[in-house]
Structure formats: structure tokens, C-alpha cells
Homo-oligomer: A and B are copies of this chain.
Amino acid sequence: MTIDRQTLRWNGWGPAKQENPLPDGAPQWAWIKETLGMAVLPSTPAKRLSDIMLPPCHLSAEEIKSFESIVGENQVRTDDYERAFHARGKSYHDLLYIRAGNLDVAPDAVIYPRAASEVQSVLSYCAENNMSVVPFGGGSSVVGGVNATARSATDKVITLDLTLMDGVHDVDRVAMTARIDAGIYGPHLEEKLDAQGLTLGHYPQSFEYSTLGGWIAARGAGQQSNRYGKAEKWVISARLATPTGPWSTEEFPASAAGPNLNQLVAGSEGTLGIICDATVKIHEKPQAKDYRGYLFKDFATGVEVARTINHADIPVAMVRLSDAAETYFFQTFGSSGSGGLKSKLQNAYLKWKGFAKDPCLMLIGLEGEKTTVEWAKERTSAICKKAGALAIGSSAGDRWYHGRFSSPYSRDPMMDRGIGVDTLETATSWSNILKLHEKMISAIQAALDENMGEPGQKGIVMGHVSHSYPDGASLYFTFVFPRNLEDEIGQWQRVKRAASDAIAANGGTISHHHGVGTDHTPWMAEEKGTTGMTVLKTLKAELDPKGIMNPGKLLG
């Protein structure tokens, strides 16, 4: 069940028709104006598609016919809407271009294959005819991963939209595995598994509008990755189409027969080939779920608790620790609507308990068998309390759970009012996490400060730990700021560069789960090293000798 692109926002998040979470007059606007130092909120609406001139489709009638002969007539689209929808992903950076009506990178055609064999034939045709190919699932990349950029200025660009390939096959309830088509959206996937009492458990914030293939290609992480694993953990094997032919990776629970080639597929971002389907680990639907909150007196104490829980072998699904700024944001912005009063009471309560200065919220999510969840609840609760945390019960957890996909919906109305919102993420070792957090916050804050368009304006930055491992954890940053309307792209580029440089300089990875895309390529060589880059480029040269696959991504 693909989603008709016409029912989705081509230039924003979610359905075309949706309730505005921040309508004019919503109390949050006052908070925003005050916090960002904006006397007035400018009106900065997105251009309508009908007012935008797309570059022409460069395909000849014969070329279109050739594609149609492979995938069928209705599966080759060259209309403005399809080309605009598939021009870019959903990053803040992308939105700046799209909303301004800059669709220079729109693909020449969008092709909807319905089978792996069709994908292979399209790739072979493109390789033969020197056309660039961009694989596209939900298109939710926030790093430029699906931008329809060409290998060279003269290349035609074909975007392959995989969302008609959305079956769930070979469900094995003993091995707890299933083979799933790459183009299936999160909700559809979980619906199909749910009907059999099963789950993949991969719920990224983009869950509603992202696909299995994209999760694997970009090494994505669901919010409950502590239990279900990042994509590279739950992928068992994959079948790809590459310009030089099909590639099926080995499928074993564990092997010593040479390197695990599945780990070359995870993170390949469509640069080696297109994932057509994958066999993945699935789970019984958890008997029990428990999400609850704890308040810590500071970030460091919370980090130490996250680490302790991880090292104690306690089966948790999620440990999510907001820093003081993000906790404050939740308390104020999140409650500046109807929850305001409640929040004020809560603040008073916290002050009374001595948590007023830098309280940091931790949400612990548990999923699984009842007895296991019960035991894990006791153990995590004991660890939190020993660290002096204030248990604030399950309501904070439940609130978070029910709104866990909602953040991206607020971005569009904020974009309409001159406000920028971006996020980025990294990961590092437990012994480096406080330092990296501090360096990142200052780097982003300083870059925002240096790039304000008007005096008195300021941006805010906040962070959280949301995925933890034995040796370290992720750090996720959100920054909200008044856009410099004279130089929006430049402003973003400078902030992005400062943040990325700070990651590289302070022992972080350039991405924990968003991927590399185009935006992170300048930092790849430092991270992978000369030999590492050679390894990746050699592989690409072998499987994609003409370099037609997702040009400009991952390797630059």
C-alpha cells in the first residue's frame, strides 16, 4: 500500500491535509517570539508549485518508451508534481530550496518499479545509457540523501521510487525473521506484522513516512533501538540490484565465512545499488510496555545512569535523557498550550524538591514479556533513585510516547513564520559524551549567534541522549532560530559547518542515524581515514563502474 504522492505535502512533512499544530494565535507563538528575540514574526510562506518553473524533462520520447516497456506505462512519471515531490528530501536545507521554488535538481522522471527484476532492468538500462539513478523510499532523508543530483551536468536523472514494492514475505515465526520489500512504509509494515502478533520494532521519528530500504541504506535507528537494534543490527540479509547485476548477501545468524557483507549494504545509501528486499529480525509484539520519567539534578548524573543501566544488562527499549535546555523547552514550549498551568505547578513542585537549577528529564522505555518488564522497571527505578532522581511516573512517558512522531509537523508552520529548525546527531564513547555535548552546544550556539540577521535575535539549542550502547551513546541536537532572510542558505551552511567541525574535532561520528547524504560528505574522509575511503571508493567503482548510483552521496 503505497501512499499517493498527491495526498502528501511535496514541500513539507506529512499529509497535504492536516491540522496545523501551531495555528495563528496559538500561545506558543508568544513563547517563540520572546525566546528568539523576534519582535515580529515575518510571513515567509512557501511558493506554490503552480508558481514554480521546473527544469524541463530531458528524456526523449524513446527513452520514456524504453522505461515504460520495463515497468509499464503508468509507472513512469514526468509530471511536475511527481518531479517536484522527488526533487529533494526533508531536511531544513532541502526545505529552504523547495519552499523558495528552487527545483533545479528535480529528476527527469520518476519510475515506480513493482519487482526486483524491474529495478534491475531499469538500472541496467541506465548504466548502458549513462543516466544517473536516485533510489527513493519515503524521501525523509534530512542529509540530502535522495536529492536528484546528476553525476555530471549533462546527465539525465531517474528517481526510482520503491514504494510499490511493499510486501511482507516468508514470515518465519520460529526463527523470527521475515523478508520484506524495501519500499514498504513503517505503518504498513507494522500493520502487516501486527496482524500476526509480530513487530519489527523500528520506530524512528520519521516512521510514518519512511521505508524499510531507507532505514537500512542509511543505518537508521528507531527510538527503541536499545531493544530492537539499529537497522544494521536487525538486517540479516539483503537483495540488491546494482548496475553490474544482482547482489544477494549471505543470510546466517552468525558466520565466520569471511567478512559480513551485509554490513557493506547497511550504510551504502544507494551508492552501490538499490536494496530491493531484506530479511530482518522480527519479534513477538511485546506483552507489556512501560514508559516513565525521572528527573535528574543535572545532565552528568543522567548520563552516568544511562551508562549504568546499559552496563548492567538490563533489557531496556529506550533510555532518553534530555539536557537541561531541552527539559526546559518541554516544560515551557511543550506546555505553553493547554498544559501551561499544569507545568507551572510542576515547576513549583520541582523547585520545592530542589531540582530547580538544571533538571534533566530521562524517559525510560521498557518493552517485552511482562515479567521482564516488571523486573527491568524495578532495576532501573532502583538505579535512578540511587542517583538521586525524582520519579515522575508514567504520565511523562506516555505523553512522550503518544507524541513521538509529532515534532516534524511543527516545522512547516514555523518555516512559514521566518523560523528555522534543524537537528543533527552524533555518537561517541561514554567517557567523551559530556565533553562532546558541551562542545557541540557551544559551537552551535556560537554559530547561531554569529549568524543572526537582526540585532536582538537569538537562536536556541538543546540536546538529548537517545540511543545507548555498551561503549557509548548518541547525542541529538535541535536548534531553533530566526532565519536570516537575506542569506538563509549561507546562515545554515555556516551553522552546519561549525557543528560538523565540532563533531570531528571532539571525537564524534558525523552521523549516528541520519546518514551522510550530500550534507556530511566533507567530513567523511576524516572519519573513515584515507584507506577507509579508498575501500569505499574501490567497492563503488567495482559495482557501479560508471558512477551512476546516487551521485554525490556518501562519497561526495
Chain A positions near chain B (C-beta within 8 angstroms): 172, 174-177, 218-221, 227, 230, 232, 236, 242, 244-250, 252-261, 263-269, 281, 283-284, 307, 311-315, 368-369, 371-372, 375, 379, 427-432, 467-474, 508-516, 520, 523-524, 527-532, 534-536, 538-539, 542-543, 554
Q: Looking across the interface, which residue of chain B has its beta carbon closest to that of A265?
A: B259
Partner of A512, one of B174, B254, B512: B254
Chain B residues with CB under 8 Å of A535's CB are: 261, 264, 539, 542-543
Q: Looking across the interface, which residue of chain B has its beta carbon closest to that of A372?
A: B313
A252 touches B528 (CB 8 A): no
Given known pairs A242-B531, A263-B263, the reply for A254 and B469 (CB within 8 Å) is yes
How far is it, in angstroms, between the C-alpha of A483 and the C-alpha of B201 when the chains are bound?
53
A428 touches B252 (CB 8 A): yes
Given known pairs A174-B307, A429-B175, the reply for A254 and B474 (CB within 8 Å) is yes
Chain B residues with CB under 8 Å of A230's CB are: 254, 256
B247 touches A258 (CB 8 A): no
How far is it, in angstroms, between the C-alpha of A470 and the C-alpha of B368 when the chains are bound?
14
How far is it, in angstroms, between the C-alpha of A428 and the C-alpha of B175 when the chains are bound?
9
9 additional contacts (CB under 8 A) given A221-B254, A260-B267: A175-B431, A247-B531, A252-B429, A253-B470, A253-B473, A256-B516, A258-B528, A259-B265, A284-B311
How far is it, in angstroms, between the C-alpha of A466 and the C-alpha of B502 when the chains are bound?
45
Given known pairs A256-B514, A469-B254, the reply for A538 and B536 (CB within 8 Å) is no
B542 touches A250 (CB 8 A): no
How far is it, in angstroms, between the C-alpha of A509 and the C-alpha of B256 when the chains are bound?
8
Partner of A176, one of B177, B259, B471, B515: B471
Q: Looking across the interface, which residue of chain B has its beta carbon closest to that of A508?
A: B252
Partner of A532, one of B220, B250, B315, B509: B250
B510 touches A257 (CB 8 A): yes
Q: Looking across the interface, which residue of chain B has its beta carbon closest to that of A429?
A: B175
A259 touches B266 (CB 8 A): yes
How far is it, in angstroms, between the C-alpha of A371 and the C-alpha of B554 when the chains are bound?
45
Of all A-B residue pairs in the complex, the 7 with the closest CB atoms, nearest first, are: A253-B472, A263-B263, A247-B531, A175-B429, A255-B509, A174-B431, A219-B256
Q: Looking across the interface, which residue of chain B has its beta carbon closest to that of A172?
A: B431
> How close is A167's CB to chain B, nearest CB, in angstroms?
20
Chain B residues with CB under 8 Å of A232's CB are: 260
> How close is A7's CB to chain B, nearest CB, in angstroms?
29
Q: Looking across the interface, which residue of chain B has its beta carbon closest to that of A537?
A: B542
> How close is A259's CB to chain B, nearest CB, in angstroms?
4
Chain B residues with CB under 8 Å of A470's CB are: 176, 253, 281
Chain B residues with CB under 8 Å of A428's CB are: 252-253
B172 touches A261 (CB 8 A): no
How far is it, in angstroms, between the C-alpha of A283 and the C-alpha of B471 when the chains are bound?
10
B257 touches A509 (CB 8 A): yes
Sample 22 A-B pairs with CB under 8 A, ordered by A number: A175-B431, A176-B311, A176-B470, A250-B529, A253-B474, A254-B467, A254-B512, A255-B511, A256-B515, A257-B511, A257-B515, A257-B523, A257-B527, A258-B267, A259-B267, A261-B532, A314-B372, A315-B315, A375-B375, A535-B543, A538-B542, A539-B539
How far is it, in angstroms, between the C-alpha of A535 and the C-alpha of B542 when the chains are bound?
8
